[in-house]
């Protein structure tokens, strides 16, 4: 007996957002099996007789495309089984494309990845995954969510929750880009299936919006550099000097300043290798920048501190 394959609105289950999941239903030999397709809709937006979204459904075209692809996939599987004269059941047909992945919760995976990043010195990058882990917990609660549960419906629920709680598009872009990166890393580790990635359908780029470039004018920079620093605490003075030094040296980053040694100063040139890109930088050392280096070299000598080789 051939299998009958259709997409139905599974009205016997209500999700937290009040919607019902859409499921592929396979009927064969008097038995039925169901499997979610990663989409949910409001019951009022679904035509139960025709098994399709009503005209009032906001994502009608997108949903119809996914339904068509899903039906085509499982009908092709059923035809292939018939051509090969292979025995199968309604349930086994739905299991045909189930990924053979290892089982680990998203929460545990993120925790392990955060620890790994900190172990290899990428502490700043680890905070992106820590923030994602916290925000997912706030949205879905702490539970055993696995990467197999990250589908289009999951992404839509996450987006709707963030919008409801006042997140801006820039913040949502940040969280979804991090979630996508985590999903791709999970694929590499065998915890997720590339073919079931929700980011094939869910476009993170929709959050990208051009922001007006913001920069201080040259006059404002000069006011900061030439400000009266009398009465500043040593830490405030150091912050002012580092800012000034960075500006005078072509916008050198904080980590590159921290890694400078006397060997990076050759004559009137500052020569160093960028930590981020490993590129070579060679620029003129302005007198005012040199004065800042000399200032802290003199301080180090007067305080009796031994040199560590770096321009502290």
Query: What whole-number distance in Å separates Cα of residue 90 and Cα of residue 34?
Result: 9
Question: Between 169-189 and 152-164, two packed helices, what is the crossing angle to 10 degrees?
Answer: 150
CA geometry: angle at 85 spanning 83 and 86, to 5°? 115
- Looking at residue 111, its pLDDT comes to 92
Task: Give pLDDT tens digits for 61-86.
Answer: 989 999 999 999 899 888 988 888 88
Query: What whole-number distance in Å separates Cα of residue 312 and Cα of residue 308?
Result: 8
Task: Give pLDDT tens digits for 248-284.
Answer: 998 999 999 989 888 999 988 999 999 888 889 999 9
**Is residue 101 a contact partner of residue 192, using CB atoms and an 8 Å limit?**
yes
Strand 280-284 to strand 269-273: parallel, antiparallel, or no bridges (unpaired)? Answer: antiparallel
- Looking at residue 162, its pLDDT comes to 94
- Looking at residue 96, its pLDDT comes to 72
Confidence of residue 308 (pLDDT cuts 50, 70, 90): very low
Q: Residue written as tokens 């500006």?
A: 247
Query: Does the reported pTM lie above 0.75?
Result: no
User: Is the pLDDT assigned to residue 207 strictly greater than 90?
Assistant: no
**Is residue 285 a contact partner of residue 266, using CB atoms and an 8 Å limit?**
no
User: Is the pLDDT assigned to residue 296 strictly greater than 60?
Assistant: yes
Report which secondary-structure segment, H or E, holds 290.
Answer: helix 287-303
- Looking at residue 307, its pLDDT comes to 45
Task: Give pLDDT tens digits for 27-67.
Answer: 998 899 998 888 889 999 999 999 999 999 988 898 999 99
- Looking at residue 142, its pLDDT comes to 72
- Mean pLDDT value across residues 197-212: 80
């Amino acid at each position: 007996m051939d299998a009958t394959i259709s997409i139905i609105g599974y009205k016997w289950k209500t999700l937290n957002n009040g919607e019902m999941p859409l499921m592929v239903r396979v009927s064969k030999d008097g038995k039925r099996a169901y499997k979610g397709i990663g989409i949910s809709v409001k019951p009022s937006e679904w035509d139960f007789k025709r098994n399709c979204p009503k005209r009032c459904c906001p994502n009608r075209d997108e949903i119809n495309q996914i339904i068509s692809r899903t039906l085509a996939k499982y009908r092709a599987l059923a035809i292939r089984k018939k051509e090969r004269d292979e025995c199968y059941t309604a349930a086994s047909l739905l299991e045909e494309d189930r990924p053979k992945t290892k089982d680990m919760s998203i929460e545990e995976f993120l925790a392990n990845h955060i620890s790994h990043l900190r172990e290899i010195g990428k502490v700043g990058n680890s905070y992106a995954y820590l923030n994602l882990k916290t925000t997912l917990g706030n949205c879905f609660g702490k539970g055993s969510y696995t990467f197999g549960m990250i589908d289009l419906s999951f992404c839509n629920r996450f987006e709707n929750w963030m919008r409801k709680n006042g997140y801006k598009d820039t913040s949502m872009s940040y969280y979804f880009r991090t979630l996508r990166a985590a999903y791709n890393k999970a694929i590499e580790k065998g915890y997720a299936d590339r073919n079931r990635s929700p980011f094939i359908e869910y476009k993170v780029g929709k959050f990208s919006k051009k922001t007006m470039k913001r920069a201080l004018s040259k006059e404002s920079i000069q006011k900061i550099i030439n400000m009266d620093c009398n009465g500043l605490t040593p830490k405030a003075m150091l912050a002012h000097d580092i800012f000034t030094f960075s500006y005078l040296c072509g916008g050198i980053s904080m980590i590159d300043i921290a890694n400078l040694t006397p060997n990076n100063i050759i004559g009137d040139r500052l020569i160093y290798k960028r930590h981020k890109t490993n590129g070579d930088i060679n620029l003129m050392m302005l007198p005012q920048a040199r004065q800042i280096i000399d200032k802290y070299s003199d301080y180090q000598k007067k305080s009796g501190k031994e040199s560590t080789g770096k321009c502290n």
